[in-house]
């Protein structure tokens, strides 16, 4: 009863109310992923003052600006290297990278594979709407064959990336894929990665009704949910080589990879300790940046 | 504040400019560097990589210069002082993040050990041809600070100034070395830590909830916070308001861009570091910077020996351009001679500032070597005639 009287959206405390309404279109899946992310923040009980979110540029790139966290809207493709510097300067932070498929796998693809190789402790959430949405619906490296885009008016003929396979091959410790239909599973994965050390990657297949669905006669946001429901198959642990997406085919979802590889900072600490012994100064153990000067003014 | 002793290698050293630059950064409190190897700059980060583990901090070799130029910005918002180092082609790749740093008011230092260009050009040979790129390389309107050392000692000393300016004005500072200065070995004296003055991070004194991240203080520079301190702030490269939120309209643009420029323009006088000698009674003043100033010195000496009245003005701060000083020189001398290792970049600034009050004579050189002093002498003679 009280729930009915105070229909407070549990996500609201995590949003910058003063920035609403958001820019996303009706039926867009990005907001759905943010709901799941907020749930994950609640469930994982992370200290919100210690969570930083870093986005690149795109419709998804706007996520950082709406979340009431330390948030960085960086440049196109460079959220991961920004996050790398942030995490290394303050290892106590949980650093989340939240960005689009084009941002993370086209212009930023090199950074993604190198961050995964290093296994640096970043939680990367990729909203894959199969398109460059912000710029009006151009081909992305994720756009499946035959789909129509503004730059492939006769249909895409380039092969698309299989994101989980790429992330795993590059070294990610955790790889999962869900769709915006799988709000609970998505939230659980997001929660799980907060407890997982190393490079974690979650792909969320998400509709862009405005620029992908309609142009490809796939209906609106609701039709996308139906499509996801009907075409998804959960296969936890599926070999990532088998989970590539096609325009109309099966969508394999699940947690594909959950393995332990030494994290970047641990590797760094081990190497330096091995070589330098007591002479090594681990700045993660120092008081936070006394050399910066901080509050004592000019 | 004083320098953190752990980063200061007090003593007398014989090192090259690249190594001295690294020591300057460490003395200034830089505890994070990201870089990608490129001649003739790599020694700076190589030294940093070997020094930092026993000081406390991080070096990371990134996958390219796009990455290293933004990793340092992440590190700054995480609380560190940070810099990156590159040369020509790498500098070109960093341009977008110079703009991002200017727009987000992220204090940091970009070191460019200049080599011949364009493109791959002359990887191992000197030039001073990125001076305009340092000023204008990123898109959009912004002011920038650029310093130009002419010796290993100055690579140390000015690197500290570069960090201090970046912190005081919250802006990226370009540190414009060249291959010769980077690779020449000379005596470098590193003072005791308590003799090194550092400008501390302009960290807000406001409590979370009270802070508008981009609300300027009296000198138009806002105080900042670091991630993880509870402020829950937002930083964006979009045009933003004083809260840091996107505000995409002409008024917000005018307000923000106006302030970003004005905070530096207004400080031009205190930013203008230079060295001058015998300019008052001079008929000709040679204006130079970086390695070329040392060749110019020889030419000036030769000219004086032959009885000409020649003054010397050496720019240590190239940007913002010290217009007022150039006007003063132009008012007193008949001609200004500007040798530089490019086909004419700073000479145009001198012309602009002199505004016809004195003749301006460039001494261009495409790079690959330094000038012959005789070439500069010739220009002095012509100018004096
Ligand atoms: C260097 C650079 N190149 C191009 C752009 C233009 N641009 C902005 S967003 C974008 C693509 C975004 O696609 P994606 O990452 O998939 O995000 P979405 O909008 O689909 O969420 C492009 C090309 C830019 N901002 N910066
Ligand atoms: S254009 Fe597409 S991705 Fe962007 S907000 Fe609209 S529906 Fe979402
Ligand atoms: Mg996209």
What is the pLDDT averaged over residues B78-86?
A: 98
Position A126 scores a pLDDT of 99
**Mean pLDDT, chain B, as a whole number?**
98
Calculate how far, in angstroms, residue B281's C-alpha sits from the geometric centre of ligand 1.
Answer: 59
B80 conformational bin, left if phi > 0, alpha if psi -120 to 50, beta if neither? beta
Q: Quick check: pTM over 0.95?
A: yes
Residue A142 alpha carbon, nearest atom of ligand 1? 16
**Is there an atom of ligand 2 within 6 Å of A211 CB?**
yes
ipTM exceeding 0.90, yes/no: yes
Q: How far is CA A62 from CA A80, A154, B69, B207, B238, in A?
A: 15, 30, 22, 26, 11
CA A149 to ligand 1 centroid distance, Å: 15
pLDDT band at A13 (very low <50, low <70, confident <90, very high): confident
For A83, the closest chain B residue by CA position comes to B74
* pLDDT at residue B263 greater than cutoff 60: yes
The pLDDT of residue A97 is above 70: yes
| A297 pLDDT more than 70 | no
Residues 32-51 of A with CB under 8 A from B: 48-50
- Residue bearing the bigger pLDDT, B16 or A6: B16
pLDDT of residue B169 exceeding 90, the answer is yes
pLDDT of residue A296: 42
Q: Shortest Cα distance from A162 to chain B (angstroms)?
A: 22
User: What confidence tier does A290 reach under pLDDT thresholds 50, 70, 90?
Assistant: very low
Residue of minimum CA distance from atom 1 in ligand 2: A133
Model confidence at A295, pLDDT cuts 50, 70, 90, reads very low
Nearest-by-Cβ selection for A291 from B31, B75, B226: B31
| Contact at CB, B53 and A276, closer than 8 angstroms | yes
CA–centroid distance, B101 to ligand 1, in Å, is 19
- Kindly report, residue by residue over B100-128, the tens digit of the pLDDT: 999 999 999 999 999 999 999 999 999 99
pLDDT band at A286 (very low <50, low <70, confident <90, very high): low
Pocket test for ligand 1, best of A61, A104, A134 (most atoms within 8 A of CB): A134
User: Hey, are the CB atoms on B74 and A81 less than 8 Å from each other?
Assistant: yes
Residues near ion ligand 3 (CB < 5 Å) are A 100-102, 129, 133
Tell me the CA–centroid distance for residue A114 and ligand 2, in Å.
29
Question: What would the CATH number be for the domain defined by A19-260?
Answer: 3.40.50.970
CB atoms A72 and B74 under 8 Å: yes
Cα separation of A89 and B229, whole Å? 13
Mean pLDDT of B248-260: 98
Percent composition of chain B: helix, strand, coil (DSSP 3-state, to 5): 40, 25, 35
Domains B5-195 and B273-384 share a fold: yes
Which of these, B124, B135, B47, lies nearest to B85 by C-alpha position?
B47
CATH 1.10.10.60 fits B273-384, yes or no: no
- pLDDT above 70 as % of chain B: 100
Beta bridge partners of B275: B314
- Ligand 2 neighbourhood includes A127 CB (under 6 angstroms): no
3-class secondary-structure state, position B362: strand
pLDDT for A9 = 77
Q: Is the pLDDT of residue B224 over 60?
A: yes
Using pLDDT thresholds of 50, 70 and 90, give the confidence band for residue A8.
low
Residue A122 has pLDDT above 80, yes or no: yes
What is the DSSP secondary structure assignment for residue B105, as one 8-state letter? T
A145-193 tens-digit pLDDT: 999 999 999 999 999 999 999 999 999 999 999 999 999 999 999 999 9
Over residues B21-26, mean pLDDT: 98
Query: Residue ranges per domain, chain B?
Result: 5-195, 273-384
Please answer yes or no on whether B75 and A89 come within 8 Å at the CB atom.
yes
- Taking 50 as the threshold, does the pLDDT of residue A250 lie above it? yes
Q: What is the mean pLDDT of residues B380-385?
A: 96
Cross-chain Cβ contact B1/A296 below 8 Å: yes
Q: Which fold has domain B5-195?
A: Rossmann fold (3.40.50)
> How far apart are the CA of A14 and the centre of ligand 3, in A?
24
In chain B, alpha helices (H) = 17-27, 42-51, 65-77, 88-104, 131-136, 152-169, 179-183, 250-265, 268-271, 292-305, 323-332, 346-354, 373-384
Average pLDDT for A210-219: 96
- Asked whether the predicted pLDDT for residue A293 surpasses 70, the reply is no
What average pLDDT does this structure show over B265-284?
97
pLDDT band at A291 (very low <50, low <70, confident <90, very high): very low
**What does R_g of chain A's alpha carbons equal in angstroms?**
20
Q: How far is B268 from chain A (nearest CA, A)?
A: 19
Q: What is the 3-state secondary structure (H, E, C) of chain A?
A: CHHHHCCCCCCHHHECHHHCCCCCCCCCCHHHHHHHHHHHHHHHCCCHHHEEEEECCCCHHHHHHHECCEEEECCCCCHHHHHHHHHHHCCCCEEEEEEEHHHHHHHCHHHHHHHHHHCCCEEEEEEECCCECCCCCECCCCCCCCCCCCCCCCCCCCCCCCHHHHHHHHCCCEEEEEECCCHHHHHHHHHHHHCCCCCEEEEEECCCHHHHHCCCCCCCHHHHHHHHHHHEEECCCCCHHHCCCCCCCCEEEEEEEECCCCCHHHHHHHHHHHHHHHHCCCHHHCCCCHHHCHHHCC
């Amino acid at each position: 009863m009280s729930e009915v009287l105070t229909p407070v959206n549990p996500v609201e405390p995590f949003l910058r109310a003063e920035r609403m309404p958001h820019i996303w279109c009706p039926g867009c899946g990005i907001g759905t992923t943010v709901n799941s992310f907020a749930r994950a923040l609640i469930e994982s009980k992370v200290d919100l003052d210690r969570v930083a979110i870093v986005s690149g540029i795109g419709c998804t790139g706007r996520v950082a600006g709406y979340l009431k966290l330390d948030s960085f809207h960086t440049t196109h493709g460079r959220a991961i290297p920004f996050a790398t510097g942030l995490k290394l300067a303050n290892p106590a932070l949980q650093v989340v990278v939240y960005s689009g498929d084009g941002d993370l796998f086209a212009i930023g693809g090199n950074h993604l594979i190198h961050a995964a190789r290093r296994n640096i402790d970043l939680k990367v959430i990729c909203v894959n709407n199969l398109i460059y949405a912000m710029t009006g619906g151009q081909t992305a490296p994720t756009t499946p064959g035959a789909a129509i885009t503004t730059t492939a008016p006769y249909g895409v003929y380039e092969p698309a990336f299989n994101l989980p396979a790429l992330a795993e091959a590059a070294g990610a410790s955790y790889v999962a894929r869900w769709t915006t239909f799988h709000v609970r599973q998505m939230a659980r994965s997001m929660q799980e990665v907060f407890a997982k050390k190393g490079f974690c990657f979650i792909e969320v297949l998400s509709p862009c009704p405005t620029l992908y669905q309609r142009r490809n006669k796939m209906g609106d946001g609701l039709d996308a949910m139906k499509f996801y429901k009907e075409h998804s198959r959960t296969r936890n642990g599926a070999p990532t080589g088998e989970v590539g997406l096609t325009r109309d085919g099966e969508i394999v979802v699940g947690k594909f990879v959950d393995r332990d590889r030494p994290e970047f900072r641990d590797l760094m600490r081990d190497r330096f300790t091995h070589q330098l012994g007591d002479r090594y100064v681990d700045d993660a153990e120092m008081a936070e940046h006394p050399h910066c000067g901080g509050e004592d003014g000019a | 504040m004083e320098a953190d002793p752990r980063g200061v290698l007090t003593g007398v050293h014989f090192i090259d400019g690249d190594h001295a630059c690294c020591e300057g950064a460490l003395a200034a409190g830089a505890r994070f560097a990201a870089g990608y190897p490129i001649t003739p700059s790599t020694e700076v980060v190589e030294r940093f990589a070997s020094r930092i583990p026993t000081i406390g901090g991080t070096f990371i070799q990134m996958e390219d210069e796009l990455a290293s130029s933004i990793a340092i910005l992440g590190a700054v918002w995480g609380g560190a002082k940070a810099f990156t180092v590159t040369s020509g082609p790498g500098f070109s790749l960093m341009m977008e993040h110079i703009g991002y740093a200017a727009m987000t008011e992220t204090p940091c230092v970009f070191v460019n050990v200049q080599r011949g260009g364009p493109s791959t050009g002359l990887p191992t040979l000197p030039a001073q041809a990125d001076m305009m790129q340092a000023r204008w390389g990123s898109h959009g309107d912004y002011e920038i600070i650029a310093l130009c050392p002419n010796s290993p000692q100055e690579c140390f000393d000015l690197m500290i100034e570069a960090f201090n300016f970046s912190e005081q004005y919250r802006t990226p500072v370009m540190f414009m070395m060249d291959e010769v200065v980077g690779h020449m070995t000379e005596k470098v004296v590193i003072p005791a830590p308590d003799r090194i003055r550092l400008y501390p991070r302009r960290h807000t004194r406001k409590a979370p909830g009270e802070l508008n991240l981009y609300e300027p203080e009296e000198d138009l520079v806002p105080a900042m916070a670091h991630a993880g301190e509870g402020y829950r702030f937002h930083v964006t490269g979009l045009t933003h308001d004083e809260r840091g939120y996107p505000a995409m309209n002409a008024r917000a643009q005018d307000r923000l861009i106006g302030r970003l420029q004005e905070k530096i323009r207004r400080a031009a006088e205190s930013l203008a570091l230079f060295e001058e000698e015998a300019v008052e009674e001079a008929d000709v003043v040679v204006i130079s910077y970086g390695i070329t100033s040392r060749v110019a010195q020889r030419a000036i000496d030769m000219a004086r020996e032959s009885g000409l009245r020649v003054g010397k003005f050496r720019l240590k701060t190239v940007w913002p351009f010290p217009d007022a000083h150039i006007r003063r020189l132009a008012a007193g001398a008949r001609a200004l001679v500007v040798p530089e290792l490019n086909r004419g970049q700073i000479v145009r600034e001198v012309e602009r500032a002199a505004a016809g009050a004195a003749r301006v004579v460039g001494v261009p050189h495409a790079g690959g070597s330094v000038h012959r002093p005789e070439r500069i002498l010739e220009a002095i003679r012509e100018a004096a005639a």
